[in-house]
Structure 1
Amino acid sequence: MSPRSNPLDAPLDAWLALANAPGIGPRTVARLIEHFGSPVAVLRASPERLAAAGLKPASVAALKQPDPDALAAVLDWSAQPDAHILTLADPRYPPLLAEIHDAPPLLYVRGDAGLLAEPQIAIVGSRNPTPGGLETTREFARQLVGFGLIVTSGLALGVDGAAHAAALAGGGRTVAVLGTGPDRVYPAVHRDLARRIADTGAGALVSEFPPGQGPLARNFPRRNRLISGLSLGVLVTEAALKSGSLITARTALEQGREVFAVPGSIRNPLARGCHALIRDGARLVESAQEILVELAPLLHCALAAPDSALAATAATAVDLTEAEAAPDLSVSLDAESQRLLNSMGFDPVAPDELIERSGLPAQRVAAMLLVLELSGHVSSAPGGRYHRSRA
């Protein structure tokens, strides 16, 4: 072998036989390649040497006699349009993901595989978010893709699905990391969303599990390390204390990624996970620009072209944040409007409750809310509720 040869440049069928053998996970694959020198050398090693390397009999048997039907099925899947299998030797393999200690040896991708190497921000959260949590997720996703970042999530119900859909609706790109094979969609209700991600040129579906793999509970926590491993940072918009998204956030910390959390009302149980992350060192954020400010140094390092539009956006993020449009608080308020404003907090509240708190007539409250919103003193929220914009 030439000194310049890359031992990872092995035939795809050798990678498939090694990565899909039972009892052999990503760490074992890495250890075997380091020990024997290449995937081909692992397959050529004697059963005795493989056993001495710590493999169980079933794993050794699978390496010595790979299942030809299973191999053919995977290769048939990869022959479809926009279907890709990336090995660790593939130049398209995302460099950030390759850095983690248990990087998957293979990635199965539907859609634009080139997106995996571009700067991404993960958005995760509750599978049963509040209306306010959904709106927060959509707002952050739209703004982040507007800055040129790719939004990455896990295609789950709730926050994940909202993040993917908002990224596409905002004209951006999104990556969905699956806990199934690349030919399966779970939950089934997201089949149309998965199709839009993979088939419109604006996204990619990615999995470390081969085609045909259905939804197994043990695979979804494994999926979470890919969500964070692909991304520069992870944003949690709304999560309970025992939410799976907190696993993603903590995995991100272990991988050296930034973690961001959106604070919420102390009365909202789905805000407690975010508050716990903030107490543990996650960055409290209230806008997408704050995330961009924190990621700016990483973006400059991640981008191949330092004069790219995204790099320029990152470089000016601080200025953008400082120059962010503020409400027109110079508009003077009459006594009743000030009274109504004083009855309102920063958590969304319904007009009926404002009427009760302020003691003002219902007709006056409706008109004053419109004026206060136009002047920037209050903001509307889903469900016809309102909250103060600034202190």
Structure 2
Amino acid sequence: MTDSDDLRDWLILLRTPGLGARRIREGLVARGDAASLLRWLTRHAEALDGEGRAWIEQPDEAVLAHDLAWLAGDDQRLLRCTEEDFPPQLEAIPDPPAALFVKGDASLLLRPQVAIVGARRAQAPGLANARRFAAELSAGGLLVTSGMADGVDGAAHEAALDAGQPTVAVIGTGPDRVYPRKHHALARRIAAHGAIVSEYPPGTAALVHHFPQRNRIIAGLSLGVVVIEAGRRSGSLITARQAGEQGRDVFALPGSIHNPLAEGCHALIGEGARLVQKPDEVLATLAPAALELGAELRARLERGEGPTGVGRRKTGPFDWRQDEEYRRLLDVMGYDPASLDALVDATGIAPGALSSMLLILELEGEIAALSGNRYQRMV
């Protein structure tokens, strides 16, 4: 079977009304691959409702052709849960997506991330805090992830990019749509220097119920969520509470008791979120988890694990100084700035694994991350 055939099978499954990510994942475990699951569903159409049966029996070829044309574009991909570089962070969340449409650098999803979220109508101090936290957390080695919404989300993405660092936007529309429309320029920057991620197929409009759904992915990709200005009914509180349910750290910035956009943050602090005032406090809390994730991702990629349902063993304490590949990487780097692509070519290590190694070395103070996805040895 060609990859084009497999993609087509996946697209049919993802677009089947009433099927959903959970049933697709269960079906993959039971049937082995997308083609086998699709054949089984074709023979057992009673497992679907009327709309789902009609689609399986006669998919809209024009829609599938449009999807495949989008996937044929530069740096545009369907990242399936059966692939080894599907982010393992998402396997542990309730109702994980079966696949993600990605525009940009999909390997960034393997990096330790921090979510920055907050009010769409944030005030000037909130926007300033979003920019400061995003810039400093990016410089500290954490990739900033948010939802590309107006307000805090947009400010966080822009600050990370302005600092010369990539950023990830998880959106509630198809990957070819931009919402809000004012963020077309920002979306282009993110796609060029980061990644735009959606579980919804191309052409999907901005529907209200999609945004709470995408919030679980923002939380799931991240080691922790920083909430900057949020009202009592803010969607950011959904992200924060989902993060807490997923075992992630939740941080909230306090504000004036007279500011209604501080009420959500104060409520989170009252529920046990960490009160933070400086980015360093977030970095200090998340650094151990980032080190563990980097080592675990590297080991996972080396083992070639991929399909959903394959267990990931703990790597235990990890000492990079005892690892021959880390020593070779430092030797290859020398002391001049080197790009990620150059290091991939020089070492032969896969980009996802190499990114994890570089993050560990950065957190250990051995190297510094520079603008333009470059790295320089410091010791």
Instruction: Please report the TM-score for the alignment, with normalisation by the length of structure 1.
Output: 0.74
Pick from 271, 290, 294 the counterpart of residue 303 of structure 1: 294
Establish whether residue 86 from structure 1 lines up as the match of residue 79 from structure 2. yes
Shift of 1:85: 1.1
Aligned to 2:222, the other structure's residue is in SS state: coil
Look at both structures and tell me which one has the larger radius of gyration over its CA atoms.
Answer: 1
Shift of 1:219: 0.9
CA RMSD of aligned residues (A): 2.1
What one-letter code is carried by the residue in structure 1 that aligns with 2:147? G
Aligned to 2:119, the other structure's residue is in SS state: coil
Written as runs of structure 1 = structure 2, the 5 A alignment for 1:21-100 is 21-45=16-40, 49-51=44-46, 54-100=47-93
Query: Which residue does 1:12 correspond to in 2?
Result: 7
Per-residue Cα deviation, 1:25-62 (whole angstroms, up to 9, x for no partner): 111212333344432222112656342xx421321232
Shift of 1:315: 5.4
**Aligned counterparts of 2:178 and 2:282: Cα–Cα separation in 1:** 30
Per-residue Cα deviation, 1:317-350 (whole angstroms, up to 9, x for no partner): xxxxxxxxxxxxxxxxxxxxxxxxxxxxxxxxxx
Establish whether residue 276 from structure 1 lines up as the match of residue 325 from structure 2. no
Q: How many residues align?
A: 305
User: Which runs of no fewer than 5 residues in structure 1 stay unpaired?
Assistant: 1-9, 317-391
Establish whether residue 207 from structure 1 lines up as the match of residue 202 from structure 2. no
**Aligned counterparts of 1:47 and 1:112: Cα–Cα separation in 2:** 35
Pick from 246, 250, 270 the counterpart of residue 259 of structure 1: 250
Shift of 1:189: 0.3
Mark the CA change 1:118 to 1:296 in structure 2 (over 3 Å): closer, same or farther: same
Per-residue Cα deviation, 1:69-114 (whole angstroms, up to 9, x for no partner): 1111111011111111111122231111233231211211111111
Written as runs of structure 1 = structure 2, the 5 A alignment for 1:98-177 is 98-177=91-170
Written as runs of structure 1 = structure 2, the 5 A alignment for 1:195-234 is 195-199=188-192, 202-234=193-225
**Aligned counterparts of 1:46 and 1:108: Cα–Cα separation in 2:** 23
Identity between Structure 1 and Structure 2 (%): 50
Shift of 1:244: 0.3
Per-residue Cα deviation, 1:196-253 (whole angstroms, up to 9, x for no partner): 1112xx2111111111111111111111111111111111011111100000011111
Structure with greater helix percent: 2
**Aligned counterparts of 1:159 and 1:61: Cα–Cα separation in 2:** 42
Instruction: Please report the TM-score for the alignment, with normalisation by the length of structure 2.
Output: 0.76
Indicate if the aligned counterparts of 2:252 and 2:268 stay in contact, CA closer than 8 A: yes
Indicate if the aligned counterparts of 1:43 and 1:64 stay in contact, CA closer than 8 A: no
Question: Which one has more relative contact order, counting CA pairs under 8 Å at least 6 apart?
Answer: 2
Indicate if the aligned counterparts of 1:21 and 1:59 stay in contact, CA closer than 8 A: yes
Indicate if the aligned counterparts of 1:27 and 1:101 stay in contact, CA closer than 8 A: no
Greater shift, 55-64 or 20-29, is seen at 55-64
Please identify runs of 4+ aligned residues in structure 1 that moved more than 4 A.
305-309, 312-316
Query: Which residue does 2:227 correspond to in 1?
Result: 236
Written as runs of structure 1 = structure 2, the 5 A alignment for 1:281-360 is 281-304=272-295, 306=320, 308=357, 310-312=359-361, 314=363
Aligned to 1:108, the other structure's residue is in SS state: strand
User: Which runs of no fewer than 5 residues in structure 2 stay unpaired?
Assistant: 299-319, 321-325, 327-356, 366-379
**Aligned counterparts of 2:217 and 2:42: Cα–Cα separation in 1:** 32
Aligned to 1:103, the other structure's residue is in SS state: coil
Indicate if the aligned counterparts of 1:119 and 1:149 stay in contact, CA closer than 8 A: yes
Greater shift, 93-102 or 68-77, is seen at 93-102
